[in-house]
Amino acid sequence: METIANITTVRKLLDEYDLKAKKKYGQNFLVDEETVKKIVDEVDDDSFVLEIGPGLGALTQKLVKAHRVIAYEIDSDLVRVLNEIFKEDENLDVRNQDITEVDLGEVIRQESDGRKCTVVSNLPYYITTDILNQVFCSSDDVEKVIVMMQKEVAMRFVNRTDRKDYNVINVLADLYSDYEPVCRVGKHCFYPVPGVDSAVLKFELKNDRVDMALVEFIRDCFSNRRKLLLSVLKQKGYGVDAETFGNIGLSDRVRVEDLSVSDFVRLYEVTR
């Protein structure tokens, strides 16, 4: 099979199977081999891969050469194409399921067989957030998550000075992973060409056990970002007052976006 991450092959496959890219599933297929290589190179040799949204198999094609791959694809038309292209590949298990309905932690535990898992995904951002949330909170077997996302969203992780759009997921990423950009991906690396550029980020998970009570506390802090944090927490039933904030060097006038990651942890500790 020729390289899938190529505009000619992608067009040919869509023609052959009488398909069009579906907007509702965010289908913009990668047609840049260099980007595929950069992503695949990030996967450790001894890891198995959970691929989310394989599409026509641009990444899958390289991943299955060196790894066992479990791929979740929502679109049954694409599952048909993948099953045909990769019919000889015993390393690949394509599952026709919506990833938001899958218990990722459970699947990873069942399939890990002593190996660590790398999650590779190229999905709409709202799903990516859900996946990162699940991965940070539910599995010790994941060592890495490599995700493609809209460039602006990726910058929100990387550029820590602008906290206007900072959210629960950014705090969890800071607490439970080390992350860095892998590459920028211009919109012309996709077919059809999307409206925006993308970037790939790599999250390497720390071994710390996730404290779910802390995660809940962080979620509560973000439950009303326009209000003063002190009143948000009071409303949520935490026993805090201006003095509690003062004791850890915080003004009682702060909003959630003013907090650093260590502020969240200290505030959580004094509210327990």
Chain contacts with ligand SAM (rule: CB under 6 A)? 25-30, 52-55, 58-59, 72-75, 78, 98-100, 122-123, 127
Tokens of 270: 């004094």
Q: How far is the CB of 56 from ligand SAM (least distance, A)?
A: 6
193 or 212, CB closer to ligand SAM?
Answer: 193
Kindly state the smallest distance separating residue 230's Cβ from ligand SAM, in Å.
38
Contact (Cβ atoms closer than 8 angstroms) between residue 162 and residue 114: no
Select 12 or 160, whichever has its Cβ closest to ligand SAM. 12
Angle between helices 151-158 and 168-176 (to 10 degrees): 50
Cα angle 220, 221, 224; round to 5: 90
- Alpha helix locations (H) across 143-228? 151-158, 168-176, 212-221
Q: Which of 88, 86, 66, 89 is nearest to 78 (CA)?
A: 86
Compute φ and ψ for 198, nearest 5 degrees: -125, 175
Say if residue 27 is exposed, middle or buried (CB neighbours under 10 Å; 0-12, 13-18, 19+): buried
- In the numeric block, the tokens 């439950």 are attached to 223
Q: Which is nearer to ligand SAM, 120 or 171 (CB)?
A: 120
Residue among 97 and 251 whose Cβ is closer to ligand SAM = 97
Q: Is 179 helix (H, G, I), strand (E, B) or coil?
A: strand
In the complex, the smallest distance separating the C-beta of residue 248 from ligand SAM, rounded to whole angstroms, is 40
As given in the structure block, the two tokens for residue 42 are 């990030």
In the complex, what is the shortest distance from the CB of residue 27 to ligand SAM, in angstroms, rounded to a whole number? 5
Q: Which is nearer to ligand SAM, 127 or 228 (CB)?
A: 127
Cβ at position 201, least distance to ligand SAM in Å:
15
- Widest distance between CA atoms in the chain: 68
**Closer CB to ligand SAM, residue 149 or residue 233?**
149
Element containing residue 15 per DSSP (H, E): helix 7-16
Token pair belonging to 39: 């992503």
Planar angle of CA 51, 52, 58, nearest 5 degrees: 65
Closest distance to ligand SAM from the beta carbon of 268 (Å) = 32
Question: What is the distance between the alpha carbons of residues 204 and 42, in angstroms, rounded to a whole number?
Answer: 11
Question: Taking the complex as a whole, how short is the minimal distance between the CB of residue 52 and ligand SAM, in angstroms?
Answer: 6
Q: Which is nearer to ligand SAM, 99 or 240 (CB)?
A: 99
